[in-house]
Amino acid sequence: MGWLGLDDTDSLNGGCTTEVFHRLLNGLPEDAELGTPRLVRLWPFAQRRTRGNAAVAVEIRSDDEPALLNHLDRWWKNHIFPLTGDVQESTISERVQTPASPGMVWFSRPPDAAIYWAAVRGEVSEEDLPKPLRRWGGHGCIGATAAVAWPAMTFTWEAIAWRKNGANGPRFVDEKTLLMLDAWPEVVFSRDPRRGKQLVAPRGVSPVLFGLRALSESTAERACRTLLNAEDTEEAMGWRVFQTNQASGDHLEGSIIGDVLALEVDSVRKHAMLTVSENTLIRVFAESGPVNALARWLMPGDRIEVRGLRHPDGSVHAEQMRLVESVPRARLRPPCPSCGHRMKSMGSGQGVRCPICKHRSGDDWVSVESKPPYESWVEPEVDGRRHLARPLEWRKNQ
């Protein structure tokens, strides 16, 4: 009995680690019994990362471990190692592309979860890894090890279906059936509620037909079967349900509370840059929608709380934000204490006087509160969140 992990088999040129893993699992010896496959997203700022930054792992039970490892040796040599070095320049992403560097590991038991927490919250090098019983390949061993070490404390489920060999071009997923599945309370993140756009079928070069996310394994499986059997869904090569750390919030640790010292807004893209107490820089991208709207409303003196990932450049990329306290946005002359009409200035340093009853008083002002666009925690819309982001609504229920 042991744990198998795999990562870094794809590039922008195509491929998908989940599909490579699916074929590997289907090709195992008959005596191999599988546990629950897992799909684990990791730190999105890693210098080397695959498109979705996800690794896979599974527990395998076998009465003949040496024979199983020999089988994995052959499978690695014939089916996975040949994927090494694939790379394609991106015309969409500014991220530097690196050649695929597949990695596979075998542990008799999962390593300490500390390596998972390190990999989901920061950069991990190959030198940091615990030693597996067997290791194949290169850089992908980092994600593979982290996937095996994941403690699965908070999780969701995803059913992934893959296109038949060689399929390319537009994907065909039955829209009427998907609309029905959207109404299932345990099917989540399947549609952008603002635009009505489905979020289950990728648009890029990938063998994935669709990925349906759910709150339970049974719902993920039932929804997947329903969509695959729908009249207007194209035939799939295969499908599998994964336990995943998506929507777990594992990538975030605590929050930042501070006073806004300065605000800059990009005049073209509307990205916002906040400087808060102790000169912490917080980037709030336009794609974050409501979070960006709140950030652009802020002014020096406002107090905020922010949850986000720290970028290698030291800035924090905001994912969730709330206004703790705001400073007044404007001042007005006070109302007349006698008749209630607004007082008016009699000139510089001469105090104020009511234009109706002529009541006089000192040079007084009253602050006028301005209502923020959002008065509690705010987050991006569904299609603007990270895979790991835990919805605010779920946090309330914890």
- b (16+ CB within 10 A) / e for 41-57: bbbbbbebbbbbbbbbb
- The DSSP output letter for 384 is G
From the CB of residue 86, how many other CB atoms can be counted at a distance below 10 Å?
A: 17
The pLDDT score that the predictor gives to residue 193 is 76
User: Chain centroid to CA 292: how far?
Assistant: 17
Same CATH topology for 2-244 and 256-328+371-396: the answer is: no
Collect the ranges in the chain with pLDDT lower than 70: 11-14, 49-52, 86-98, 368-369, 396-398
Distances (CA, A) of 197 to 190, 227, 368, 381: 9, 17, 41, 12
CATH for the stretch 256-328+371-396:
2.40.50.1010
CATH architecture of 2-244: 2-Layer Sandwich (3.30)
CA 112/CA 148 separation, integer angstroms: 10
- What is the pLDDT, as a whole number, of residue 369? 67
What is the per-residue pLDDT for 227? 97
Are 186 and 214 in contact by the 8 Å Cβ rule? The answer is yes
In angstroms, the CA 169 to CA 227 distance is: 19
- Spatial CA neighbour of 294 closest among 269, 268, 315, 265: 265
Q: CB burial class (10 A; 0-12, 13-18, 19+) of residue 206?
A: buried
pLDDT at residue 90 in the model? 47
What is residue 310's predicted lDDT score, i.e. its pLDDT?
Answer: 92
Calpha distance 159→213 (Å, rounded): 6
Q: Residue 107's beta-bridge partner residues?
A: 3
> What single-letter amino acid sits at 345?
S
Nearest CA to 338 out of 362, 356, 350, 365 is that of 356
pLDDT digits (tens, 9 = 90+) for 36-61: 999 999 998 887 766 568 899 999 99
Can you state the angle between helices 217-228 and 175-182, rounded to 10 degrees? Answer: 160
Name the pairing type of β-strands 236-244 and 38-41.
parallel
pLDDT given for residue 204 in this prediction: 77
Q: Under 8 Å CB-to-CB from 11, ≥6 apart: which residues?
A: 50, 51, 86, 87, 88, 97, 99, 100
Question: Residue ranges of the domains in the chain?
Answer: 2-244, 256-328+371-396
